[in-house]
Chain A
Amino acid sequence: MKITFPHMGNIYLAIKALCDGLGIEYVIPPINNKLSLEIGSLHSPEEICLPFKLMIGNYIQAIEQGADTIIITGSCGPCRLGEYCEMQMKLLKKLGYDLDFIVLDSPTDIGIKELYKRIIKLTSNSRDNIFNKYKALFNAVKVMNLIDEIEASAHKFAGYEKIKGSCKNILNQCKTDALKFDKPDEMIKMLKNYKEKINHVSIDINKNPINVGIMGEIYTVIEPFSNLYLEDKLMDYGVSSYRKLTPSWWVKNTALIPLKINSLDIKRASKNYLPLNIGGHARECIGEAVLSYEEGYDGAIQIFPMGCMPEIVSKSILPTISKDLNMPIMSLVVDEMTGEAGFITRVEAFIDLLERRRDNVLLRS
């Protein structure tokens, strides 16, 4: 059994740590690129959303490298993500691949026994005892939290850095270095080093950069290829960006759902605009837009794939929030055809707008 998984931001580092810890064979699909998108959109249904297409690209590229089992998380919200597993199974079968799927659904829908059975199937090839298995899981969570923290710091300090590009360099180095380690402990040690490094990058505290909150559909927000490396671009512009949706946020949120104490701040902030959970992360998007204002950011950017049902609802609410709170909010819709030049123009124009609102056009020079 050689497992593979779809990409979503830096989640591959955590899964690498998990599989290394458990001693399971795995294939990391090539980082999302034009080819994987091309393969994905060739085989996927036309009207499905962008994450599906990228995932299919990932799978096929991983299968070419020898993978035969796919892990994917499911959901039973009204959003399309929950149906991905069903469609992907049938699609890959039709293409002639013989694969095993391990779908990690929420226990409320498939029952705790079924979930346990699926997890056992995943770990059955590992000869470690139960203690080591839990240790591998904790290490994986640790890796995920560390890389998310490093990324968040890099995005934040990019606005303050003294040497232009230093934050981006550290972040990129960290990602390439992390892949070199085959032992989770060593990887964690290295990530901790990088965390120190990024937190001590030389910054100019007197700078007052533009602050932008980033929100929207979780996959397109987290996966940099799908949003055409928006956050990297903002780092280049010297803009500090903040994003709440991360894999570690998702894990924490999912774990707290049964107790109903998940993301209380978002629930409070979204109360006036969208009091119910309508599926996907529409409510989180609305809550974060309000929180961005409360944190004092200059503006907010919403990103979602074309046709995303929950985000269409939140997009129709955002103009009201923008008007009520007097904060510019821009919505960016991405699909497999998004041209980069048009995208950059819009982001630049938005940043210009935020600068002018401060009556200071020379802010970034």
Chain B
Amino acid sequence: MKIGIPKGLLYNNYHPFFITFFSELGAEIITSVDTNKDILNEGVKYCIDEACLPIKIFHGHVSSIKDKCDIMLIPRIMQLHKREYICPKFCGLPEMILNSIENMPSTINEPIYASSEMKLYEWALNAGKRITKDRRKINSAFNKSMNVQNDHIIGINDSNYEINVALTGHPYNIYDDYINMNIVKKLNRLGIGVITEEFTDEKIKNSEVKKLFKKPFWTFARNNYGFSVSSAKNTSINGIIYISSFNCGIDSVTVELIKYEIENFPFLLLKIDEQTGEAGLNTRIEAFADLLERRYQYENNISSHG
């Protein structure tokens, strides 16, 4: 049996779990290729106009492998932590796909509550039943894939640069090099190091979040807010770059909250959509790099006259 796993949205974060789980059950894994122009075009063709870029790209990934597999995995990730969501569009993702793309194979779209291992196991049982009836096999596959997932570390933590920026945003915008047009490489070429939120301690992030009147109920809003505000206080970080997809409801809130808090700390908001031109993005990054450089030199340039 062939299982299709689209390479969109949180694939980069959770692919070890899904791939190990299904291959341990004896299924053949079909993944789509990395995001490229064709996938984007397919996605724009099928998806409704109002959705954001990552959702459109996910549609493209699905349509590129829908004829090659017997069952498609559409992860309906409801919660990653208790009392927190990701986004309403994640909760309704299978419906969006099934109603927009025709001739879909059957799908695994049971809701995933990853707030505890027990709840995740419920999903694994339901999904595993589609492939094998052997419960022991599902159990061992689940345990193995949990181990693999826990060993999977992502994140960027450059150390040998003088100027560093905190790169924030939803993971699917940061780790998809097609969406963000290789921003990490571009920054490195300009002599700027990149640090992502995975390397900041949860406690530091949460202590910033606790100062808010109400705890954000989106996982990535909490992460990005905590990370950005704490890095504004961190002396080794010189600026924040926030990658946000156009029309992202969560970012429209998070970015404002960050701006209220960090005041004059250098902050660059990069909006991306399916029409972003690379030249415009380059100009903005270069301008921001110049700004950081001048601030850096100025700060270290203490006048000898006192």
Partner pick for A45 among B85, B92, B256, CB 8 A cutoff: B256
Interface assignment of A329: CB less than 8 Å from any CB of chain B: no
The chain A residue with its CB closest to the CB of B84 is A78
How many residue pairs link A and B with beta carbons under 8 A? The number is: 114
Interface assignment of A310: CB less than 8 Å from any CB of chain B: yes
Q: Report how far A94 CA is from B256 CA in the complex, Å.
A: 12
Chain A residues with CB under 8 A of B96? 313, 316-317
Q: Report how far A47 CA is from B78 CA in the complex, Å.
A: 24
> Scoring A residues 71 to 100 as 1 if CB is less than 8 Å from chain B, else 0, what string do you get?
000101111101101110111001000000
Interface assignment of A307: CB less than 8 Å from any CB of chain B: yes
Chain A residues with CB under 8 A of B218? 78
Partner pick for B111 among A82, A85, A94, A276, CB 8 A cutoff: A276
Residue total for B at the interface (Cβ-Cβ under 8 A): 37
The chain B residue with its CB closest to the CB of A273 is B95
Interface assignment of A23: CB less than 8 Å from any CB of chain B: no
Q: Report how far A58 CA is from B100 CA in the complex, Å.
A: 39
In the assembled complex, the CB of A196 is this many whole angstroms from the nearest CB of chain B, namely: 43
Q: Say whether A49 contacts B92, CB under 8 Å.
A: no
Stretch at the interface among A126-134, A206-214, A225-233, A278-286: A278-286
Partner pick for B100 among A78, A86, A314, A316, CB 8 A cutoff: A316
Say whether, besides A282-B92, A317-B95, A86 and B50 are in contact (CB < 8 Å): no
Partner pick for B249 among A49, A276, A319, CB 8 A cutoff: A49
The chain A residue with its CB closest to the CB of B214 is A86
In the assembled complex, the CB of B224 is this many whole angstroms from the nearest CB of chain A, namely: 13
In the assembled complex, the CB of B128 is this many whole angstroms from the nearest CB of chain A, namely: 21
Interface assignment of A141: CB less than 8 Å from any CB of chain B: no
Chain A residues with CB under 8 A of B253? 48, 80, 83, 87
Q: Say whether B217 contacts A319, CB under 8 Å.
A: no
Interface assignment of A312: CB less than 8 Å from any CB of chain B: yes
Say whether, besides A87-B256, A87-B257, A333-B50, A313 and B213 are in contact (CB < 8 Å): no
Q: Say whether B249 contacts A309, CB under 8 Å.
A: yes
Say whether, besides A80-B252, A316-B96, A279 and B260 are in contact (CB < 8 Å): no
Interface assignment of B130: CB less than 8 Å from any CB of chain A: no
Interface assignment of B279: CB less than 8 Å from any CB of chain A: no
Q: Say whether B95 contacts A315, CB under 8 Å.
A: no
Q: Would you list the 5 A-B pairs with minimal beta carbon distance, nearest first?
A: A313-B92, A278-B91, A47-B252, A78-B85, A309-B88
Write the residues of chain A forming the contact surface with B, with a CB cutoff of 8 angstroms. Answer: 45, 47-49, 74, 76-80, 82-83, 85-87, 89-91, 94, 103, 105, 109, 273-274, 276, 278-280, 282, 306-310, 312-317, 319-320, 333
A–B complex contacts, Cβ < 8 Å, 7 sampled: A80-B250, A87-B256, A91-B256, A278-B88, A306-B50, A309-B87, A316-B48
